[in-house]
């Protein structure tokens, strides 16, 4: 599949190595084949754009955390720990 640099990348292969490409962990010759492919393949360019849009949208999801009450309780426990370790 990755015989040499001139072997054209199939779209079906591109969608499986796109994460390595975006993570910059793709071996150089595959990266070159990837870049060459998207230059001439509009659907794969669209696919790359959609993947990037997916990442961008995922980055906008809100993050759920612990409740304010639980947070306060932890801060009180931290204060108690400090008080007991300093003998107060």
Is 60 one of the binding residues for another protein (CB under 8 A)?
Answer: yes
Alpha helices per DSSP H over 5-67: 11-22, 28-40, 42-58
Is 39 one of the binding residues for another protein (CB under 8 A)?
Answer: no
Distances (CA, A) of 71 to 10, 67, 68, 75, 85: 52, 6, 5, 6, 21
Is 32 one of the binding residues for another protein (CB under 8 A)?
Answer: no
Member of 3, 39, 64, 68 binding another protein (CB under 8 A): 64
Return d(Cα 12, Cα 47) in angstroms, integer: 11
Is 11 one of the binding residues for another protein (CB under 8 A)?
Answer: yes
Query: Is there a contact between 29 and 5 (Cβ–Cβ < 8 Å)?
Result: yes
* Site residues for another protein per CB under 8 A: 10-13, 15-16, 18-20, 23, 25, 41-44, 46-47, 50-51, 53-55, 57-61, 63-67, 70-71, 73-75, 77-79, 81-82, 85-86
């Amino acid at each position: 599949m990755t015989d040499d640099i001139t072997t054209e990348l199939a779209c079906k292969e591109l969608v499986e190595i796109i994460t390595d490409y975006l993570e910059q962990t793709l071996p150089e010759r595959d990266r070159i084949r990837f870049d060459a492919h998207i230059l001439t393949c509009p659907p794969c360019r669209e696919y790359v754009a959609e993947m990037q849009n997916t990442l961008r949208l995922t980055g906008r999801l809100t993050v759920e955390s612990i409740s304010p009450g639980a947070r306060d309780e932890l801060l009180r426990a931290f204060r108690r720990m400090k008080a007991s370790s300093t003998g107060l």
